[in-house]
């Protein structure tokens, strides 16, 4: 299998070249084009896991798997403009519910419980993340570019919750308000997340909730 990113980092398409017998699984709706002789299988990945993704995580109930009969080229792309990042999975990784694009290998796509503090960490996602579990390769997408950050043991980083993309499931985290009361109400940040090393974190350079506000204000101004 070969892969590359086209038109990165603004309007990225993930191009996958599969040899006979190879396969890739993606979120429903990510397909852009296919070239070659291939089969498509659509499944929930297990009805219980699919329902959890759809109801709790806000994702599609279904996943599409593309299986090459001979040399095949598949193009996949996210809904929002932005970049795509490859990550290696060997264990568990938490991913914001809109950032899973595709995977190969023995990876289970389900949900991870964030607890009540998740209600404050990200108003668009609520109590759960997506959880990628197993061993293989996954591709994540984001609004804007994706920035990986490695934290050593004892290191901590503060992240605006709307810029979070993914992190190792072993990393600890907590939610707090941004600065004092004045900063919290007028600083434009609200709640932020402290994430503790060791582990790898991924953040996105643009804020989708900020885009929504711009669109709303534009509509009101008409």
The HSE-up count of residue 31 (CA atoms within 13 Å, CB side) is: 15
Domain spans, the chain: 2-220
Could you tell me if 32 and 13 are in contact, meaning their C-beta atoms sit under 8 angstroms apart? yes
pLDDT computed for residue 7 by the predictor: 95
Q: Write out the chain's pLDDT in tens, 222 residues.
A: 999 999 998 999 999 999 999 999 999 899 999 999 999 999 876 444 544 545 444 555 689 999 999 999 999 999 889 999 999 999 999 998 789 999 999 999 887 765 444 444 443 344 457 889 999 999 999 999 999 999 999 999 999 888 889 999 999 988 877 655 544 444 445 678 899 999 999 999 988 776 676 677 778 766
Q: 221 to each of 27, 113, 188, 218, how far by Cα in Å?
A: 36, 39, 21, 5
pLDDT computed for residue 200 by the predictor: 97
pTM: 0.83
pLDDT computed for residue 190 by the predictor: 64
Distance separating alpha carbons of residues 62 and 43, to the nearest angstrom? 5
CATH classification number, 2-220, choose in 3.60.160.10, 3.30.365.10, 3.90.1150.10, 3.40.50.720: 3.60.160.10
Could you tell me if 133 and 167 are in contact, meaning their C-beta atoms sit under 8 angstroms apart? no
Q: Are strands 31-35 and 100-113 parallel, antiparallel or unpaired?
A: unpaired
Could you tell me if 207 and 215 are in contact, meaning their C-beta atoms sit under 8 angstroms apart? no
User: Tokens at residue 41, please?
Assistant: 């299988």
């Amino acid at each position: 299998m070969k892969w590359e990113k086209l038109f990165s980092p603004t309007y990225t398409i993930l191009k996958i070249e599969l040899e006979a017998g190879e396969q890739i699984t993606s979120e429903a709706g990510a397909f852009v084009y296919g070239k070659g002789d291939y089969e498509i299988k659509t499944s929930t990945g297990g009805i219980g896991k699919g329902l959890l993704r759809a109801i709790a995580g806000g994702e599609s109930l279904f996943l599409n798997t593309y299986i090459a009969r001979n040399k095949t080229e598949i193009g996949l792309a996210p809904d929002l403009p932005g970049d795509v990042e490859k990550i290696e999975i060997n264990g568990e990784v938490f991913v914001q519910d809109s950032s899973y694009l595709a995977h190969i290998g023995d990876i289970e796509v389900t949900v991870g419980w964030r607890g009540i503090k998740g209600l404050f960490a990200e108003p668009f996602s609520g109590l759960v993340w997506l959880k990628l579990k197993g061993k293989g390769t996954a591709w994540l997408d984001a609004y804007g570019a994706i920035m990986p950050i490695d934290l050593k043991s004892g290191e901590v980083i503060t992240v605006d919750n709307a810029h979070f993309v993914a992190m190792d499931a072993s990393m600890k985290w907590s939610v707090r308000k941004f600065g004092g009361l004045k900063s919290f109400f007028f600083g434009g940040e609200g709640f932020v997340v402290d994430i503790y090393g060791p582990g790898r974190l991924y953040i996105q350079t643009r804020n989708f909730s900020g885009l929504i506000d711009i669109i709303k204000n534009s509509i009101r101004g008409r």
